Structure 1
Amino acid sequence: MDREQQLKAFYQGNLSKEEAEDFLQWYHSKEGEAYMSSKLKEQWDQQDPVMEEYSSWDREVLFKKISTKKEGSNQSSSDQSIKLKTGKHWGFSIAASLAILFTVSILGYQYMLDHQTSPIETQAMITKSNPAGQKSKIILPDGSKVYLNAESTIRYRKEFKTNRQVELEGEAFFEVFSDKEHPFSVRSKGLVTKALGTAFNIQAYKDSPLTEVALTHGKVSVEEIGGAKSGELIPGEAIISEGTDSDFRKEKIDVEKVLYWKEGILHFDEDTFEEVVRTLERWYNVKITVEGRYDKGFLCSGTFDKNEYLDNVLNILSHSSGFEYQINKRQINMKFNP
């Protein structure tokens, strides 16, 4: 946000502690003083429309906030507020500038006191979720990007810039902003992925036995939560875990295929029929019931056009898998004939 927006957000109490500290540091700098002086002069000389919003603030209320929290400022604050509202000559600008500086300084100090986080508040989490059939792009407070797949959720603390920990359920692709002083980590169904500045994909759905961390750029380390197994990845590699002591393996992967979902391309690579059904339910936000017996060892492979219609996907799968299907709004019935 620009400085005008930041000033307004500060006054309204909408800045985080870190943002407020940054604002106050700028405000007391030579650059900040010069900026406010120029804006004040515009207000007095031209009644600039942008500054009309600031001039409409009730400064009596503002100064009252100070007087109720700091002793000895009631009378002088009231006098200064009248000057700010009625003065039309640039001669008043110095007094006005000092008054605003005094106001922002004291309110800034009280703002910090009022917004100190308790141990419980420190643990407060922000949650971003997608239902089935929806994907989204999320910008984290540090500038990192998250592409969140359908039926997926991420959680992170409000103090994310200094505590870059993310919890993931489902699938997401991360483009991590580099910050060596604050490592970036993702917890996902038994695994912790750590990175500085890199890009990687994690698939960790609750209803799937597999958790996969695939690296596209940079370098990451992956380790079991509370376990002894760990490994590092280079681009084109993935660590796959099934949550068992014997299955924590590294494999080569096709990065392009791993990221097909970001482009709206549905892709199966020797997936079981159960995995195909779960993917279709997430992808199209439908409920699928399956009747009859089918070969449990049957594996499905195939790539569909971008944003392919569900009817077309089912039509192709039905021919290769041997089932009939009916679509009733969001209810799909698949039936295998004896």
Structure 2
Amino acid sequence: MDLKILLRYFSNKYSRKDFSAVNNAFQQKGENPQLEEQMNLHWQDFDSEALPDIKLDHLLDKVHHRMNVEGNPQIKVFNLWQLAQRAAAILFLPLLLGSLAYNYLKPTLANVDEAWAEIQCPLGVRTKFQLPDGSTGFLNSGSVLKYPVIFANNRNVKLTGEGYFEVVHNEKSPFHVKTKNLDVKVLGTTFNIVAYENENLEEVILQTGHVEVASNDGKSLGSLQPEQEMVFNKQDLSHKINNVESTQYTSWKEGRLTLRNVDIDELAIRLSRWYNAEVIVDKTNKAINAYAYHGTFEDEQLDDVLKILSLSSPISYIEKERTKDKSENYSKRKVILSVNLKKSIK
């Protein structure tokens, strides 16, 4: 087989014919001196050292299986190994190269900085994701999730914003979600985390399973059981654990804003997140703290929700005029909630 075919295959520029040639070469039974020599030559293009003297038969079995599963040359998965090209030159194969290179070929590659992938969720939408270990979840409006490309033995992700997770159980490899202030450790469970940078609180809400929460400096803050939340205050570094109805915090992934006896402060926070607005509470009259709010909204616009609140409670609201900045971008909608005990409630 022509060495140029291997070069095109490794550089992710191969054709269907090239893929078939590489596939056939690896599928041949018995020794293949020509293929071994070509792999040696390609290795030397990246490293002056000799090809490591190791047994690769069991690895080639995995390679054959992987190529049979993929089977489609249009599935291009080599890019994740641009950071470890020197080691990957041995087999030129997708995904499997991680374990081959790190465990068998080049111990010095352990010092190479990890590559991270990033999932961004635009404002006003929700994004579903699946991680390499099979764990799934959703990101809420304006959220970002980062995870290592080599994920099997490093199930650590970084979250900014809000995310819901359904984690695949793996007792040997705990799953960590790290925010700016918290480190949430799980084995296999479903939970929600809120960690927006522009808010004073971070929240962890457990739906099923068990989680342990620590600060990023390693201090244990406690563990949660199902239907509990931990609220961490970023200003004074305090935290507390509350019993909650978890569905009111996780229904956003299904497009519903669920409120279950929340106070005015939480109402303002939830409306701000949901509608990408700035909802502020005027506490001139302390009576505004005496009310709790209960309801479910699905397709309603912010104007509709505010009207319903105004009609069903002693809440009044004023919307401030939106302004433009120097770049001609409008500011967020700004709504001020206040209490009006004199108005009639329908």
Aligned equivalents of 1:187, 1:283: Cα separation in 2: 23
What SS is found at the alignment partner of 1:213? strand
Any residues of structure 2 matched to 1:40-55 within 5 Å, and which? none
Aligned residue identity for 2:167: V
CA contact (8 A) 2:193 2:202 kept: yes
Aligned residue identity for 2:307: N
What is the CA distance between 1:245 and its match in structure 2? 6.7
Q: Deviations over 1:4-43 (max 9, x none)?
A: xxxx9x93556xxxxxxxxxxx9999xx558xxxxxxxxx
What is the CA distance between 1:199 and its match in structure 2? 1.3
Aligned residue identity for 1:197: G
Is 2:297 aligned against 1:305? yes
What is the CA distance between 1:161 and its match in structure 2? 2.0
Aligned counterpart for 1:250 among listed residues 229, 233, 241: 241
What is the CA distance between 1:225 and its match in structure 2? 2.1
What is the CA distance between 1:166 and its match in structure 2? 0.8
Indicate how the Cα distance of structure 1 residues 234 and 134 shifts in structure 2: closer, same or farther if over 3 A, else same: same
Is 260-269 or 286-295 further displaced after alignment? 286-295
CA contact (8 A) 2:319 2:333 kept: no
Any residues of structure 2 matched to 1:1-338 within 5 Å, and which? 11=9, 13=11, 33=28, 66=42, 69=45, 109=90, 111=92, 122-226=113-217, 228-243=219-234, 247-269=238-260, 271=262, 273=264, 275-286=266-277, 297=289, 301-319=293-311, 320=313, 321-325=315-319, 331=333, 334=336
CA contact (8 A) 1:327 1:333 kept: no
Aligned equivalents of 2:221, 2:282: Cα separation in 1: 42
What is the CA distance between 1:313 and its match in structure 2? 0.7
Indicate how the Cα distance of structure 1 residues 282 and 27 shifts in structure 2: closer, same or farther if over 3 A, else same: farther
Number of matched pairs: 257
Aligned equivalents of 1:141, 1:284: Cα separation in 2: 31
Aligned residue identity for 1:323: Y
CA contact (8 A) 1:132 1:284 kept: no
Q: Deviations over 1:126-152 (max 9, x none)?
A: 221223211111001111002111122
CA contact (8 A) 1:152 1:169 kept: yes
Unaligned runs of 5+ in 2: 1-5, 13-22, 30-37, 47-86, 323-329, 341-346
What SS is found at the alignment partner of 1:259? helix
Indicate how the Cα distance of structure 1 residues 265 and 192 shifts in structure 2: closer, same or farther if over 3 A, else same: same
Indicate how the Cα distance of structure 1 residues 13 and 269 shifts in structure 2: closer, same or farther if over 3 A, else same: farther
Aligned equivalents of 1:300, 1:151: Cα separation in 2: 28
What SS is found at the alignment partner of 1:123? coil
CA contact (8 A) 2:144 2:161 kept: yes
Indicate how the Cα distance of structure 1 residues 224 and 107 shifts in structure 2: closer, same or farther if over 3 A, else same: closer
What is the CA distance between 1:316 and its match in structure 2? 1.4
Indicate how the Cα distance of structure 1 residues 129 and 278 shifts in structure 2: closer, same or farther if over 3 A, else same: farther
What SS is found at the alignment partner of 1:304? strand
What is the CA distance between 1:290 and its match in structure 2? 8.5
Q: Deviations over 1:92-112 (max 9, x none)?
A: xxxxxxxxxxxxxx9851646
Indicate how the Cα distance of structure 1 residues 28 and 301 shifts in structure 2: closer, same or farther if over 3 A, else same: farther
What is the CA distance between 1:156 and its match in structure 2? 1.3
CA contact (8 A) 1:153 1:169 kept: yes
What is the CA distance between 1:188 and its match in structure 2? 2.0
